[in-house]
Structures are given as C-alpha cells and as structure tokens.
Amino acid sequence: MSAVPAEPELDAQLDLQLDPAVAALLRHDPAGLVAAVVQQHDTGEVLMLAWMDDEALRRTLTTGRATYWSRSRGEYWVKGETSGNRQWVREVRVDCDGDALLVRVDQEGAACHTGERSCFFRSLPGVEGGAA
C-alpha cells in the first residue's frame, strides 16, 4: 500500500548470506574453499572428500542436502541430484583451525561415482610399523 518501492533484490541478497558468525569460523584457501570430509553419521564410514565455499555451506545448512563446489566443473553440485544417491545432512562440524568441515550425512546408495559405497575403496600396500 505504500508508494515506497520494495527492494527485493537487496532483501534476497541479505537472506542468501551464510550466517556471519559461521563464516567467521572459516579459514578459506586461496580459492575461497574449505575441505569437507563426508561421513555416514551412524556407521562412521568416511564416504568422500569434497569442497565447499561459503555459499555451498549455506545451501547445505539451510536445505539439509549436501551441496559442494566442483573444482573441476566450476559449479555447485547437490550430491545425488543426477545419480539419485542423495546425502541428507545430519550435522556439520568445523575443525579447530577452520579449514575443514566434517559433514555427517545419511547417504542413499553409493557415495562414489564408481558405484562403490565410499570413494576410499583402495587400500595402499606397505604399512609396516604398528601399534599397541
């Protein structure tokens, strides 16, 4: 009812920022990214490693669907959007120095594009030494 024009673009822009308190915890690499370790929340299995910028983290936190920045394709990708192997986010943690995230998810199907459950399916030979 007012003659004052709305500023939808400005409003949208403000809504679309990562919480500044969260952003302040992050220490980005020169490309603006932090590493995201992805773990199945109940079994503890490490599924994959991906990358996030602030916007990918914002989308992940606000949608509950794991969203990454593809360094090779130069675009955001919602995990499972094409494969159907979606990741439902249960919790995101940040490490002590802010350059890595731990994304605890419920993974549908295979996390790896090869069809393996985890991207870490190859064991390297040669561990000698050993533990108590």
Helix, strand, or coil (residue 129)? coil
Q: Around Cβ 37, how many Cβ atoms within 10 Å?
A: 16
Site for a second copy in 2-31 (CB under 8 A): 19, 22, 25
- Rounded to 5°, the CA angle 13-14-20 comes to 125
Member of 43, 70, 81, 109 binding a second copy (CB under 8 A): 43
Helix (H) or strand (E) holding 14: helix 8-15
CB of 64 to a second copy, least distance (A): 2
Tell which one of 8, 20, 84, 130 touches a second copy (CB under 8 A): 130
Q: Report the nearest approach of a second copy to the CB of residue 103 (Å).
A: 10
- Give the single-character DSSP code of 42: T
User: Is residue 54 classed as helix, strand or coil in its secondary structure?
Assistant: helix
Q: List the interface residues with a second copy, window 99-128 (CB under 8 A).
A: 99-102, 105-106, 112-114, 116, 119-128
Task: Select from 49, 70, 81, 109 the one that contacts a second copy (CB under 8 A).
Answer: 49
**b (16+ CB within 10 A) / e for 12-21:** eeeeeebeee
Residues that bind a second copy (CB under 8 A): 19, 22, 25, 35, 37, 39, 43-46, 48-49, 60-65, 88-97, 99-102, 105-106, 112-114, 116, 119-132
